Amino acid sequence: MLSKAELQHELGVSVIGRKLFVFEEIDSTNLCAKVMADAGTEEGAVVIADHQTAGRGRRGRTWVDARGDNLLYSILLRPALSTDDLARLTFLVATAVARTVHATGNLTAECKWPNDVLIDGKKVCGILVENGVANGIAQ
Protein backbone atom coordinates (compact mmCIF):
# COMPACT_ATOMS: atom_id res chain seq x y z
CA MET A 1 0.00 0.00 0.00
CA LEU A 2 1.23 3.51 -0.80
CA SER A 3 1.95 5.77 2.13
CA LYS A 4 -0.20 8.79 2.92
CA ALA A 5 2.56 11.13 1.65
CA GLU A 6 2.92 9.19 -1.62
CA LEU A 7 -0.84 9.24 -2.18
CA GLN A 8 -1.08 12.99 -1.58
CA HIS A 9 1.84 13.58 -3.94
CA GLU A 10 0.29 11.45 -6.69
CA LEU A 11 -3.13 13.04 -6.28
CA GLY A 12 -1.73 16.54 -6.79
CA VAL A 13 -4.21 17.53 -4.10
CA SER A 14 -6.76 20.24 -4.85
CA VAL A 15 -10.00 19.31 -3.09
CA ILE A 16 -10.14 15.53 -3.21
CA GLY A 17 -7.42 14.15 -0.98
CA ARG A 18 -6.58 17.22 1.08
CA LYS A 19 -7.51 15.05 4.04
CA LEU A 20 -6.43 11.42 3.71
CA PHE A 21 -7.26 8.71 6.21
CA VAL A 22 -5.25 5.55 5.50
CA PHE A 23 -5.91 2.23 7.25
CA GLU A 24 -4.35 -1.20 6.91
CA GLU A 25 -7.72 -2.65 7.92
CA ILE A 26 -11.12 -1.09 8.50
CA ASP A 27 -14.69 -2.32 8.72
CA SER A 28 -15.87 -0.26 5.72
CA THR A 29 -14.43 2.81 4.01
CA ASN A 30 -17.98 3.96 3.22
CA LEU A 31 -19.09 3.60 6.83
CA CYS A 32 -16.04 5.55 8.00
CA ALA A 33 -16.74 8.30 5.44
CA LYS A 34 -20.38 8.45 6.56
CA VAL A 35 -19.36 8.88 10.20
CA MET A 36 -16.94 11.61 9.12
CA ALA A 37 -19.65 13.33 7.07
CA ASP A 38 -22.01 13.28 10.05
CA ALA A 39 -19.23 14.80 12.18
CA GLY A 40 -18.74 17.65 9.69
CA THR A 41 -15.48 16.54 8.07
CA GLU A 42 -14.69 18.72 5.08
CA GLU A 43 -15.51 17.78 1.50
CA GLY A 44 -12.79 15.93 -0.36
CA ALA A 45 -11.71 13.69 2.51
CA VAL A 46 -10.62 10.26 1.27
CA VAL A 47 -10.72 7.05 3.30
CA ILE A 48 -8.37 4.35 1.99
CA ALA A 49 -7.84 0.82 3.26
CA ASP A 50 -5.78 -2.20 2.35
CA HIS A 51 -8.54 -4.50 3.61
CA GLN A 52 -12.19 -4.20 4.70
CA THR A 53 -13.78 -6.57 7.18
CA ALA A 54 -17.37 -5.46 6.55
CA GLY A 55 -17.44 -4.13 2.99
CA ARG A 56 -20.85 -3.65 1.44
CA GLY A 57 -22.28 -3.59 -2.04
CA ARG A 58 -25.63 -2.47 -3.35
CA ARG A 59 -28.72 -3.25 -1.32
CA GLY A 60 -26.61 -4.01 1.74
CA ARG A 61 -24.99 -7.07 0.18
CA THR A 62 -21.72 -8.25 1.71
CA TRP A 63 -18.65 -7.43 -0.34
CA VAL A 64 -15.49 -9.40 0.43
CA ASP A 65 -12.00 -8.37 -0.68
CA ALA A 66 -8.66 -10.14 -0.70
CA ARG A 67 -6.15 -8.18 1.38
CA GLY A 68 -3.97 -6.00 -0.84
CA ASP A 69 -5.65 -6.98 -4.12
CA ASN A 70 -8.05 -4.06 -4.55
CA LEU A 71 -8.27 -0.31 -4.41
CA LEU A 72 -10.61 0.31 -1.50
CA TYR A 73 -11.54 3.91 -0.94
CA SER A 74 -14.38 6.28 -0.31
CA ILE A 75 -14.49 9.98 -1.13
CA LEU A 76 -16.56 12.38 0.94
CA LEU A 77 -18.32 14.84 -1.36
CA ARG A 78 -21.09 17.31 -0.68
CA PRO A 79 -22.59 17.92 -4.12
CA ALA A 80 -25.38 20.43 -4.57
CA LEU A 81 -27.67 17.97 -6.34
CA SER A 82 -31.41 17.50 -6.34
CA THR A 83 -32.90 14.12 -5.48
CA ASP A 84 -33.59 13.61 -9.21
CA ASP A 85 -29.90 14.10 -10.01
CA LEU A 86 -28.88 11.72 -7.23
CA ALA A 87 -30.71 8.90 -8.99
CA ARG A 88 -28.24 9.20 -11.88
CA LEU A 89 -25.09 9.80 -9.85
CA THR A 90 -23.92 6.18 -9.54
CA PHE A 91 -24.00 5.58 -13.28
CA LEU A 92 -22.37 8.96 -13.98
CA VAL A 93 -19.51 8.03 -11.64
CA ALA A 94 -19.15 4.64 -13.35
CA THR A 95 -19.05 6.39 -16.74
CA ALA A 96 -16.35 8.79 -15.50
CA VAL A 97 -14.26 5.86 -14.24
CA ALA A 98 -14.61 4.00 -17.56
CA ARG A 99 -13.58 7.10 -19.52
CA THR A 100 -10.60 7.68 -17.22
CA VAL A 101 -9.46 4.07 -17.58
CA HIS A 102 -9.60 4.46 -21.35
CA ALA A 103 -7.82 7.83 -21.36
CA THR A 104 -5.01 6.82 -19.01
CA GLY A 105 -4.58 3.14 -19.75
CA ASN A 106 -5.79 2.93 -23.35
CA LEU A 107 -8.07 0.08 -22.29
CA THR A 108 -11.64 -0.33 -23.39
CA ALA A 109 -13.82 -0.14 -20.32
CA GLU A 110 -17.59 -0.36 -20.31
CA CYS A 111 -20.29 0.30 -17.77
CA LYS A 112 -22.69 -2.37 -16.61
CA TRP A 113 -25.87 -0.90 -15.20
CA PRO A 114 -26.08 0.38 -12.60
CA ASN A 115 -22.71 0.49 -10.86
CA ASP A 116 -19.99 -1.68 -12.38
CA VAL A 117 -17.08 -1.01 -14.71
CA LEU A 118 -15.88 -3.91 -16.87
CA ILE A 119 -12.72 -4.51 -18.91
CA ASP A 120 -12.83 -7.46 -21.30
CA GLY A 121 -16.13 -8.46 -19.71
CA LYS A 122 -14.62 -8.72 -16.22
CA LYS A 123 -15.64 -6.50 -13.33
CA VAL A 124 -12.82 -4.19 -12.32
CA CYS A 125 -14.78 -1.62 -10.34
CA GLY A 126 -17.97 -1.31 -8.36
CA ILE A 127 -19.41 2.05 -7.34
CA LEU A 128 -21.45 2.50 -4.17
CA VAL A 129 -22.89 5.99 -3.72
CA GLU A 130 -24.44 6.63 -0.34
CA ASN A 131 -26.05 9.88 0.65
CA GLY A 132 -28.50 11.70 2.78
CA VAL A 133 -31.13 14.18 1.66
CA ALA A 134 -32.53 17.18 3.51
CA ASN A 135 -35.13 19.50 1.98
CA GLY A 136 -34.68 17.84 -1.43
CA ILE A 137 -30.91 18.53 -1.52
CA ALA A 138 -28.14 15.93 -1.28
CA GLN A 139 -26.16 15.88 1.96
pLDDT of residue 70: 84
pLDDT of residue 11: 66
Between CA 20 and CA 18 the distance in angstroms is: 6
pTM above 0.75, yes or no: yes
pLDDT of residue 55: 82
- Exposed (0-12), middle (13-18) or buried (19+): which is 87, by Cβ within 10 Å? exposed
Q: For domain 1-78, say whether CATH 3.40.50.720 is its number.
A: no
pLDDT of residue 134: 60
pLDDT tens for the 139 residues of the chain, in order: 667 777 666 666 678 888 999 999 999 999 999 999 999 999 999 999 999 998 877 777 777 788 878 889 999 998 888 878 888 888 999 999 999 999 988 899 999 988 899 999 999 888 988 887 665 556 5
DSSP, res 31: H
What are the extents of the domains in the chain? Answer: 1-78, 81-139
pLDDT of residue 32: 95
pLDDT of residue 36: 95
On whether the CB atoms of residues 48 and 24 are closer than 8 A, the answer is: no
pLDDT of residue 71: 86
DSSP, res 60: G
